[in-house]
Structure 1
């Protein structure tokens, strides 16, 4: 699953460098309701229109007899409906209702999320790219500054401490849930921290708001991690993938091939990778990872000689040693000796 996909996992933001805020995101669409509900309307004879009590009923009963029967029913219930409609034990009524313990705990958690981790003094928010800070200008000045600091802090931590980075983005989202840049940052941090369901939800929101498609490889990989490879394949076949830059296409290819492997379709995974530019002369990390994934799939399919060759080809361009291709090749050579 996700934890075993070191070199199949797409880079955050479609291969863009981590910056803490990055771009994109979406408003939450969450609203507040101030209505008191249907029971807030007074119930009883006092609420009837003037003059109605003076008219006899269709059965000929006098109004005072109806009132007597209403009083009898009230006594049988032991309380007046008017009291309940005006307060009583309804939630939210001041001094008449105590918040349940579980709700108190939820509020505490929500407050902690809103506060977020402590912000280092050296983080000012000016570390963010102008394209990101520009999206914060619609907020009040102090609020924009606080959100920017949380996004910047997340950017500095996302590689070394992704969980804390995620908590920073949650604090930013609590303050500005309707900004695209905030929702994207939250999704990317959640993905880095391994919170795949949360990452998928945030990136879906971002995509709805700004129409960006660069999140698709990460979203597809989230589906894989959640045990839904067929959903990953659907995203991999999205028409917009054809317009991706080579790096982003490679990211989606890695996820698509991984999804095929998840489904036990090794031959299909190999065909997917063979359509990618495996022989590119570039030494970019995405080429290294494509070659590594191909070699790894060849070995899984029992084609050890081919796998050995491709592990060597991977190592030849992996100057930054982002893979363990050299060790894998050595292990295969010992096995064949």
Structure 2
């Protein structure tokens, strides 16, 4: 009988390797093996179960119109079943095999021939024994591997491997999609934080501009060089410079040094006079914001006109900061 499309059964009442009882002759053994193979095709059609499972011995016996002990004797003992039993078993096995897309593997005529051989063996009929041997030969031919079935089995296995590979790729793609979604979410949070910082910076600059604009607008530029003792910084000018330094210090303390320096650079170059700028530098030194002071001196000396740079240098020198005065002049010279 062909075994294409079947799963081997090991152990239990349908094990093909299960030993027969003593006294079972070869012809009956062949019939018993054929009966076991047909019983392995019987499946449960219970809708409450998952899949089409194999029947147990009691369920199979009930379906075949006998009891479990009688079925066991047909499969394992010398007892030979009736023709009606074989016809019913073959019919039920054919129906379940067709539903599962399998081949029953033995015709009813061949099955009845095995019964005839077993009966003749029991009666010591030489003709029946000869027929049994002939039937055995035919069964061996039927059990020979079918090239088409083997090719079909290989195709099924290849398709199964391909499905597993595609499923693995799909799982990998889904994981990558989840990772990218998380990255996009993190980038959105980063962009929102940057927008918040930009809004804070804009608001800070706007507030500074408003406060500085409120100060007297008619501040005359100090001449270069100025006469010793000439002071043109009034109280409001000093307040504006110190307020600028205070805001820059607050930004620097919160870890936003770049915003602090941008505020200082724009405030000194766009809003404050050279004298006020010198006061900003000395205030930064006093508050120990040396890095901001150094950066401001370098950028101011590099970008501003010579007259403004000289005015700031002179003011720094007169405030007792000759090193800063020299540094801003060196920055102007490049």
Which category describes the TM-score, using the shorter chain as reference length? Answer: under 0.3
Name the larger-Rg structure: 2
TM-score by length of 2: 0.22
Higher RCO (C-alpha 8 Å, min separation 6): 1
TM-score by length of 1: 0.22
Higher helix share: 2
